[in-house]
Structure formats: structure tokens, C-alpha cells
Structure 1
């Protein structure tokens, strides 16, 4: 699902570029991309498997492949297992620390789908799972962890959690009736949208701090952040508790553009 993959791809590529002070070898780039794409595909597949019954009840998701019987659960499990095995193999091809930490990544990718059953913080768990990409890319290059990739991962976490809260607002009635936990269901749509805005505000602050801490990121990086800040403002201005008709545009389409902007400006700044 390339449209979903892009939400972590930009952070992963920038983290990789900063870690290597340019670009790492072709083999490192190759195995990072293999690990990244297989993990993301497997995570999406297992999410659809775990949520199949919930998706069937929700009018918004009832047309997905599993509820419609277009694919079988066995097929989804096979796809998930294959993807996760490829991810573990790719991690082993990178360095020992990547391999050692790969079970943690697998755990988060599986447990996320269950969190909506018991905690409104499920959006943050989704964000944390996405943040595995930049942190993992850094470790893949350097073989060790540092504070900068943790900050990049935290920014990725809050960014994804913020737009996932916006997206979840459209399911407020369904979630409250079916005991599905989410920030909108717990705090109401009005407060949820304010929480999402605060997440994105902190994201911008963290990205500025990352720029200040990294000598590789210059003026071009901050121009990109300025564009992202404008897009965040637009995103939060086109929705309200009274008008959620633009939820998909605000939560996905605009953030896809944000990811591309961050990828282009951030990577170019890191490589110059």
C-alpha cells in the first residue's frame, strides 16, 4: 500500500541520509528498502486480518476485501508471514543490532491492531510503529542508536498520531456504540481535533530542533518546514466538529503532500 508507506518513507530516507552524512552504500539502501516495504505491507495485512470483524460492522470499512470475501483470511496470514520473514532476513543482512531489535518491531506492528480494543492511545501506538522506520534506518547505517533518530522518530510518531486522530473522528458514533477506543471516542470530536492540532504543533517544534542539532540541514530544510507548517494550518482549518466532510482530504491527502515536501526538502538539504 504505497499511499500508506509514504507516511514513514520520508522520515526513513532523511534519517538514513543524516546517519551516513550523505548516502550509504547501495547494499545498505537496498536492504533498508526491502525491510521497510516488507514490514509495512505485512503490518497492513495483519491489521486487516485482526480488524476483519470490526471492519464488517462499520459501514465505512465494510467494502474492504476481507469483509466482502474477495480474499480469504488464510491468504492474508500467508502474506503477513512472508513479509515479516523477508523483513527479518533484510535486518540480518544489515547488521546484528537490526536483527536483535527486529522482534520488537514485529511486536509493535501486530499489537497496534489490538490497542483500539482497550486504550484511546491507539493513535500514538500507530505513530510509534511508523517511527520504527527512521530509527531503524539510522541503526541500519550506524549499527547504534543515538538521540537524533529518537527525535526524528518522535516527530514521526506525533505527526502520524495527529492525522490518525483526525481520520478517526469520522468514526465517533460507531466507536462509541461498539466500545472501540480512540481519542475522539474518549474526549469527543471537538477536543480530539484540538489534540491533533497540538500533536502537529509539537511535530513542527521537534523538526526545528532536529534542524538545529544537525549541521547537515540548512536553509532549504527550513523552507520545507515553512511549507509543511502552512499545510498543517490548512489541514486543521478545513475541518471542524460540525463539518467532517473534508476528513479524508485533511487526514490523508494533505499529509501525503506533507510527506513528499519533507522528503524532497529534507533529503536535498541533507545531501547538499
Structure 2
């Protein structure tokens, strides 16, 4: 249990909050649009467990794959694997268990969820390598996280509609935007060590502008969802609140002052995902 606690701290288990509300949003929206009903308790359960398994496997893999990089980076040298708090074999056991949870949960939902498992596993595994060859690694991470709302939609409906793809686009660029902000902390380290990122390629000032443009795409995508779905004014209010939080998030980080990156990264983005879920469900109830 002590080792498990260390692993959960290592993968920032609480950051599951980023993607889980959007998985629920995809489940609720898909179920109401396609089937005219709410997800069943059975579907809520297996979608939740699938998300926990997917994110836990991906983050533990990321820490395992990046162990050497983390050890050489002063900001990350104290992470569990480079610090020797857990072994690589213990991490592999946890990763295997997490993937098993994902697979078992998908099999409890529907056949399309099972068919799409290889795609999900590819992105969950491959994104950790992208920083080694492309500065578009942030977009790749965005696509990986954006599988969450698609998974929720597919899990409840066994289908894919244009609305699901708009939600996918919104989450992908929202994630890419805040990941660019987070990566500004390592811009100089990445540049010196041949790692690829938008901050190491374009500099911090231009990177923050790119992050803003990503978030504009995300905001517009969420707004367009209103025109393609039966969502109403309360959903739109949630979109504008999320947009205002994004603006505030960017106001916290300056090219010459990155001291508030962590505040911009976790609290703000956690609030955005919860706001979007609550306002969407509230709109549907009304």
C-alpha cells in the first residue's frame, strides 16, 4: 500500500479530474442525443473505471519512459522512479493492472469500445515518445486526452456523431494549450538536451501566444457544439465561464514570470472541466 501511494502521487492521480468530467460529458451528451435517455448506472461505472485505467496506465508509462530525462532535469529529479522510491518493475506491474482495468471495462460496454481499444492504447503509449522528435508533442497529448469524451460517447451509444468530434476537437486544443503553458518551465532544459517542445522551439513569449490560439480554437469548438446539438442557454453560459477562466489562466503567466505556472495548470483547468460538465448537465435537466 505504501508503494501504491507513492505511485499514485507520482502519476498525479488527482489530475484525472482534467479528463473525467469530459468523459462524463461525452457520455451524457451522446446518450441524450442518440438515445434520448441518460446513461445507466452500469455505463457510469464502467466509463469511470475505463478512464481511471487509461489515465493511470498512460501517466505511469510516461514516468517510466521519461525516467532518465527526469533524473537529469533538476525540476523532476525527485520524482519517484529517478529518486529510487519505486522500481521500474513495480511501475510495470501497476501499468499492466491499469491496462487490464481499461480492457475489462471496455468489454463491459459495447463492441465499438472494444474495436477502438488499439487506437486508444497506441496514443496512450506513444505520446510519451513524441517529445523526442516533434514539437507538436503538445497536440499529440491533446489528442490522447481528447479520447476521453469520445470514449464516453462511444461507451454509452456504440456510435460516433459529428457532435462527438467537435467535443474531441475542443478537448484536444484545450489540453494542448495548457500543456504548452506547463512546458515553458522546461524550455531551456529541453533546448539544451535536444528535446522537442513548442517553448524550446519558439521561445516562451511566442509559445504563450500559441497556447492562447489553441484555447481560442477550443472555445470556438465548444461554442459550435451549441449549434449542432439540442443544448441551450445554460450550456452557452458554461462555455463563456470556461472561456473567462482560460483568459484568467493566461493572465497568470508572463514571458518574464513563470512563478504561477502551477496555479494556472491544475486549479484553473480542473475548474474548467467541472464547470463544463455541471453546466451541460444542468442545461439538459432544464
User: What range is the shorter-chain TM-score in?
Assistant: over 0.9
2:161 is aligned with 1:150:
no
Deviations 1:145-166 (A, max 9, x none): 1111111011000000000000
Aligned to 1:78: 93
Stretch deviating more after TM superposition (3-12 or 147-156): 3-12
- Given candidates 213, 220, 224, the residue that maps to 1:205 is 220
Q: Highest relative contact order (Cα 8 Å, sep 6+), 1 or 2?
A: 1
Q: Is the 8 A contact 1:163 1:252 kept in 2?
A: no
2:9 is aligned with 1:9:
no
Q: Which runs of 4+ in 1 moved over 2 A?
A: none
Q: Is the 8 A contact 1:13 1:267 kept in 2?
A: no
Q: Which consecutive unaligned segments of at least 5 residues does structure 2 have?
A: 1-11
- Once the 2 structures are TM-superposed, how far is the Cα of residue 257 of structure 1 from its aligned partner? 1.5
Aligned residues: 271
Deviations 1:171-214 (A, max 9, x none): 11100001110001111111110000001111111101011211
Q: Is the 8 A contact 2:182 2:261 kept in 1?
A: yes
Aligned to 2:246: 232
TM-score after normalising by structure 2: 0.92
Q: Which consecutive unaligned segments of at least 5 residues does structure 1 have?
A: none
Q: Please tell me the root mean square deviation across aligned C-alpha atoms, in Å.
A: 1.1
- Given candidates 265, 274, 280, the residue that maps to 1:251 is 265
- Given candidates 128, 142, 166, the residue that maps to 2:181 is 166
TM-score after normalising by structure 1: 0.97
Q: Is the 8 A contact 1:13 1:134 kept in 2?
A: yes
- Once the 2 structures are TM-superposed, how far is the Cα of residue 267 of structure 1 from its aligned partner? 2.2
Q: Is the 8 A contact 1:162 1:195 kept in 2?
A: yes
2:123 is aligned with 1:108:
yes
